[in-house]
Each structure stands twice: as structure tokens, then as C-alpha cells.
Amino acid sequence: MLRSDVVVLDELLAPELIFTNHLGRVLGKEDDLAAHRSGVLQVRELNLSEQVVLVVGDEAVVSERMQLAGTYHGNPANGDFRFTRVWALSRERTLRVVAVHAGIAG
């Protein structure tokens, strides 16, 4: 995310990704990759302060609290955020993110 490395992000994100961003907008994988590719989303800093991982069968739910500094559509996107990611095994038996929810930590 810090480098907007769309090659790596493409490998980590499942084709059917559902991403609800901090503004409540639902995006797909191509939307997320396009935001990184075009520079609409620019992340300058990520600092993880909390992380909880729950493994259930072939899936994992990861809840994180991060302090983020960057921009989204040219507007500051700085603050304390919470992310929940659901990782699942693909048919190829690799872990991929199938769902993400982002929100402002309160």
C-alpha cells in the first residue's frame, strides 16, 4: 500500500473482493487497484497500533487499528483508522483478501 505496488496488490486481492472504504463506498478489486495505479489514493505512512487475528477453518479475519497519513482524491486522509480484512484460501490454495471494511477509529 505504501508503494502502491499494484502487482503485489493484484496477487493479494481476490477477484471477487468487496471493499467498503472509510467513506462507506463499496469498491471492487479493480477499483482499488485503479486508485493506487492512478494516484487517487496515496499512502505516505502506516503505523499499526493494534492487531487481532482470528483463524476459522480456511479463513482468517484480521482486525487492525492504524494511524494513516495520505490523500484520497486529493483530500487529506490522515487519521486513526480501523480495518477488518477477511482472508480466504483460493482454488490455488493461496490466501487472498476477499473482503475489507475500513472506518475511522473513535
Per residue in 47-57, pLDDT (tens digit) is 999 999 999 99
Report domain extents, the chain.
6-104
- pLDDT given for residue 77 in this prediction: 87
Per residue in 50-82, pLDDT (tens digit) is 999 999 999 999 999 999 999 989 999 899 999
- pLDDT given for residue 92 in this prediction: 87
Copy the grid coordinates of residue 47: 503505523
Tally Cβ neighbours within 10 Å of residue 86. Answer: 19
* Residues forming a β-bridge with 45: 69
CA gap 62, 75 in Å, rounded: 27
With bands split at pLDDT 50, 70 and 90, how would you rate the model's confidence at 22? confident
3-state secondary structure 4-46: CCHHHHHHHEEEEEEEECCCCCEECHHHHHHHHHHCCEEEEEE
Secondary-structure class of domain 6-104 per CATH: alpha beta
Copy the grid coordinates of residue 86: 477477511
